[in-house]
């Protein structure tokens, strides 16, 4: 009958509204003041409506969450090449970036003037970046990844929102921390590629 769907929808809204007060009554002030209460409000079993008290409270982002990209570099305690770039300045990310917000300055050998496969500088205009993740998907060297840091607002875009290499570079251990399963998958895939290459050479 016409209107039944609307009434059902309103009933569900009313149920959630009432459940909010029932849950508040069960938990008391702990629902809003304790870590346990926050976890319960964010959990699948939560009842009713809830408000996250941002910025004091933040919802944990899923591993596949993506915001402005960063560049992977070796950790400082790397055995042979601490802080070394994974980026070879191949330029693929800049080519596929839909709003064209990546600029790369390639390094050159000071003696020969020939290109060296590493960036001299690397810029991303983070206000133009639309967080699509294409750069990370297409990079053949796992050298650019999508970050989880979304608190980037500032008052002056020109001096703070055009990220250079110094601002973009983050160690591999950071990527392993924010995306452990993807970092592990990529490590296994790199190892498999290396093994296949070595096997081809032996033939
Ligand atoms: S695609 Fe990867 S390796 Fe190539 S320039 Fe971009 S970040 Fe560097
Ligand atoms: S996430 Fe998308 S828009 Fe942002 S730099 Fe990468 S390719 Fe460009």
Dmax (CA) of the chain: 83
| pLDDT by 10s per residue, the chain, length 203 | 678 999 999 999 999 889 888 888 888 888 888 888 888 887 777 777 777 888 888 888 889 999 999 999 999 999 999 999 999 999 999 999 999 999 999 999 999 999 999 999 999 999 999 999 999 999 999 999 999 999 999 998 888 999 999 999 999 999 999 999 999 999 999 999 999 999 998 87
Same domain as 130, residue 193: yes
Same domain as 100, residue 19: no
Q: Which of 11, 36, 60 is the last residue of a domain?
A: 60
Same domain as 83, residue 35: no
Ligand nearest to the CA of 133: 2
Q: Which of 60, 78, 96 is the last residue of a domain?
A: 60
Same domain as 144, residue 54: no
Say yes or no: CB of residue 160 within 6 Å of ligand 2.
no
Atom of ligand 1 nearest to the CA of 90: 4
Say yes or no: CB of residue 88 within 6 Å of ligand 1.
yes
Which CATH number is 170's domain given?
Answer: 3.30.70.3270
- Residues sharing a CB contact under 8 Å with residue 184, sequence separation 6 or more, in sequence order: 176
Question: What's the DSSP call for residue 69?
Answer: E
Q: Which of 60, 90, 106 is the last residue of a domain?
A: 60
Interatomic CA distance for residues 98 and 101, integer angstroms: 8
If one counts every other C-beta atom within 10 angstroms of the C-beta of residue 135, the result is: 24
Interatomic CA distance for residues 116 and 87, integer angstroms: 11
List the one residue out of 164, 163, 142, 165 whose CA is nearest residue 86: 142
Same domain as 85, residue 32: no
Mutate which of 132, 137, 138 for ligand 2? The one with the most ligand atoms within 8 Å of its CB, which is 132
Expressed in angstroms and rounded, the spacing between residue 104 Cα and the centre of ligand 1 is 9
Name the residue range of residue 8's domain: 1-60
Buried-exposed string 82-116: b where 16+ CB fall within 10 A, e elsewhere: eeebbbbbbebbbeebeeebbebebeeeeeeeeee
Same domain as 83, residue 23: no
């Amino acid at each position: 009958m016409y209107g039944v769907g609307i009434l059902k929808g309103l009933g569900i809204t009313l149920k959630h509204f009432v459940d909010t007060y029932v849950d508040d009554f069960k938990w008391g002030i702990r629902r809003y003041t304790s870590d346990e209460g926050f976890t319960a409000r964010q959990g699948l079993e939560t009842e009713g409506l809830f408000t996250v008290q941002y910025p004091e409270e933040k919802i944990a982002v899923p591993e596949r969450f993506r915001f402005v990209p960063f560049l992977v570099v070796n950790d400082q305690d790397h055995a042979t090449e601490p802080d070394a770039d994974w980026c070879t300045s191949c330029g693929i990310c800049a080519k596929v970036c839909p709003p064209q917000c990546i600029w790369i300055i390639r390094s050159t050998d000071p003696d020969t003037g020939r290109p060296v496969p590493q960036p001299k500088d690397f810029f991303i205009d983070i206000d133009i970046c639309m967080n699509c993740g294409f750069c990370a998907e297409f990079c053949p060297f796992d050298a650019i990844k999508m970050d989880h840091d979304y608190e980037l607002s500032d008052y002056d875009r020109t001096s703070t929102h055009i990220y250079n290499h110094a601002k973009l570079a983050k160690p591999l251990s950071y990527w392993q921390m924010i995306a452990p399963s993807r970092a592990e998958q990529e490590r296994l895939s790199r190892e498999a590629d290396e093994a296949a290459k070595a096997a081809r050479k032996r033939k």
